[in-house]
Structure 1
Amino acid sequence: MNVILKTSAILLTLSLALTTGGVSAAPSASSTHFSAVKASSSVAAIFSISLSGTALSESGYQPSGSKEPLVPLRAVAGALGFTVAWNAQTKAVDLNKGSIFTTVKSGQDRYTINKRYITLGTAPQTKQGKLYVPASFISKVLRQAVTVEGQQILIRPAADGLSETGVITSITDADNYQAVHIRGIGTEGIVLNVGKDTRLVRKDGSALAFNELHIGMTIEAQHSLISTRSLPPQTPAYQITVLDAESPDEFLGTAGTIQQVITAGDGTASIRIRGSALSGKSQNEVVLRLTEATVIINSSGEAVSSADLTEGAKVIGFYSPFLTRSLPPTGTALKVVLETE
């Protein structure tokens, strides 16, 4: 049974001026659809903004040469129920809602999503004392549904909970409490609480038992909009889907820093990781061979290049229990998660 938490977006009419840039966001899977709109070479195109069918008093615009229109951050984020605050120390705007926190700084195409950074190809801009962000920020960071049609920007608030993709780093099953931790270790990432109504499935839709989950699995989780304020935040999971087509019966894992990249005479590469063992059988330091079958992804489950596995990079390496007796032991990397800033 897939339980969906329904929330209604609270529409707030805001016309407060924002003297400089910053942002915060709430996540939920959505997308941005752009029609073929190009600004004039000399005049910026003006866009009306509609939220759930209600027109906002402020407009967006598309500067000459920009690939997408910009929208006023405070007006849009406030109408979506986000808290927007100027951070004098960082010279940026902080924005948060539930478990989601983000920051935006004028002129920097670098957007924070819960301590991770992404780029959108368009930097926020300050115009007449107000901070504007690209329309894709509303979908990719705030995770709302956005459509650009002609000179209109149509926004629909997310109402069905949130979606997260990540790799399991720890599992708790004790005292009638079950949970999985993804997207990091310690205070990083998010903890998904599993209850009697949580649906556990494979990618093909077949059912899973909780004891079939293990560290190293890449999952997609639908979960509540509500979470604790702890670090990491905890939230009820509605559904957990294992995305791996095949998965070994047991993964070992080491989270840490790449100390050395070793290239053998036949061209094969290995990485030496030193850090923290993720389970009783795992190692604090291990050398892992990279093969064509090694899955290399970031914390969001997106594929990255083996060339990004350099000395000093923070990674989580997953491997089988078959290790050499050397110090440090050597094994084959089944999956490597690169923790990008």
Structure 2
Amino acid sequence: MHPKMKKSFVVLSLSMLMTTGAAYASTAPVAPVNTSSSVTSQSALLPISIQINGEAITGNGYQKSNDTEPMLPLRAVAESLGFDLTWHQENLSVDLIKNATFTTVTTGQDRYTINKMFTTLGTAPELVDNKLYVPASFVSKVLNGSLSIEGKTVSITLEEQQKSIKSAGVITAINHAEDYPSIHIQGVGPDGIVLNLEKDTPIQMLDGTKLSLSDLHIGLTVEAEHSMVTTLSLPPQTPTYKITVLDPKKQADLLGTAGEIEEVRIDDDGNTSFLIKGTGLNDQSQSEIVLQLTDETSLINKDGKSIEKSALVKGTKVIGFYNPTMTKSLPPIGKAYKIVVDVDKDTDADKDTDKE
């Protein structure tokens, strides 16, 4: 065979071979490419059994060889604990709600909603065979349950309302949202605690008179019976079972200013007033105001305990409450209805008394 013809034959043969191979490959089924790390196959996963309140549930969790904690089936666990679930197909997320606890879980996102606040657990939820799984720590850190892991078994119990505590404080903010009503006590901003309410959470006066959320206002001192468990957010939030107003009467038009005492003033008649600079608690409140003490002024700490006037010195953090009747001066002058001092339950005066 002529050398050029031989070379052409070899090239043609290679070309046909490559074309045939490509055609053969194109007829084979192509596996879908999984671009999301949140969708997992059940193969090669260590099964984990689950017990809730001492009883085994249907369905297992799983644990990968390199994972630090098991993954649990969200629906099976949450429903066994009494939560209602709502699935959203459009973004592969689920809402969970029970009493005043609400959370949202989204596939592939290590960002868990706790009553509109966010926390991370170090592991994102995963879809396995069309079931959503969450890390075991979700039970303890989000659902407020007790968690125990021994070998291939996860045991879960849920603390119910019987284990509750009482906290007292002055209302500094109220959220009237229909879905997530709440009140903020014992501070402003990141301080204090947020009491999450249900629509049927009992609210009453000391004499048992029933109230609604709309009857509450800033400046009221209340006692709350709430869960021992709180979120890790600032301020922390907690499910609340009962609210009791400790003040003998309400004054719905109160304004409030949170800040520091910049100056203590005593006039010729011995009357005391304080210049407070800070932040108004609502649109009508002042950022800077002079509040005059009267015989009717209530002086308390952040937990609602009475304190002496001597605790009110320059530099002290306070929340002053007053009515809208003020002078037109700058800063305006008004009469103090209640002053909350940011001190602990045991004030220095109390400690000195204890020593005696």
| TM bucket, shorter chain | 0.5 to 0.7
Which position in structure 2 is the counterpart of 1:245? Answer: 248
Contact 1:197-1:238 within 8 A present in 2 as well:
no
Cα separation, 2, equivalents of 1:223 and 1:337: 22
Contact 2:216-2:252 within 8 A present in 1 as well:
no
Cα offsets for 1:1-47 (capped at 9, x unmatched): xxxxxxx9xxxxxxxxxxxxxxxxxxxxxxxxxxxxxxxxxxxxxxx
Cα separation, 2, equivalents of 1:247 and 1:334: 11
1:175 is displaced (CA, Å) by 4.8
Cα separation, 1, equivalents of 2:239 and 2:283: 27
Name which of 277, 280, 285 aligns with 2:280. 277
**Secondary structure at the residue paired with 2:310?**
helix
Cα separation, 2, equivalents of 1:247 and 1:328: 27
Tell me which amino acid in the other structure corresponds to 1:276: T
Structure showing greater radius of gyration is 2
Cα offsets for 1:278-316 (capped at 9, x unmatched): 011000000000011100000111100111101010000
Which position in structure 2 is the counterpart of 1:184? Answer: 187
Which position in structure 2 is the counterpart of 1:311? Answer: 314
Question: Are residues 1:222 and 2:225 paired?
Answer: yes
Cα separation, 2, equivalents of 1:325 and 1:198: 41
Which position in structure 2 is the counterpart of 1:324? Answer: 327
Question: Are residues 1:296 and 2:310 paired?
Answer: no
Distance verdict in 2 for CA 1:272–1:187, change over 3 Å: same
Cα separation, 2, equivalents of 1:327 and 1:197: 44
Q: TM-score, normalised by structure 2?
A: 0.51
Question: Are residues 1:199 and 2:202 paired?
Answer: yes
Cα separation, 2, equivalents of 1:226 and 1:340: 24
Cα offsets for 1:266-289 (capped at 9, x unmatched): 110000000010011000000000
Deviates more, 1:247-256 or 1:269-278: 247-256
Name which of 270, 281, 290 aligns with 1:267. 270
Aligned length: 188
**Higher helix content, 1 or 2:** 2
Q: What residue ranges of structure 1 are gaps of 5+ in the alignment?
A: 1-7, 9-96, 99-157
1:203 is displaced (CA, Å) by 0.8
* Aligned residue runs from structure 1 range 119-134, under 5 A: none
* Aligned residue runs from structure 1 range 1-341, under 5 A: 160-340=163-343
Cα separation, 1, equivalents of 2:178 and 2:201: 17
Cα separation, 2, equivalents of 1:264 and 1:246: 31
Percent identity (aligned)? 47
Tell me which amino acid in the other structure corresponds to 1:209: S
Q: What residue ranges of structure 2 are gaps of 5+ in the alignment?
A: 1-52, 54-139, 142-160, 345-356
Tell me which amino acid in the other structure corresponds to 1:333: A
Q: TM-score, normalised by structure 1?
A: 0.53
Cα separation, 2, equivalents of 1:215 and 1:185: 11
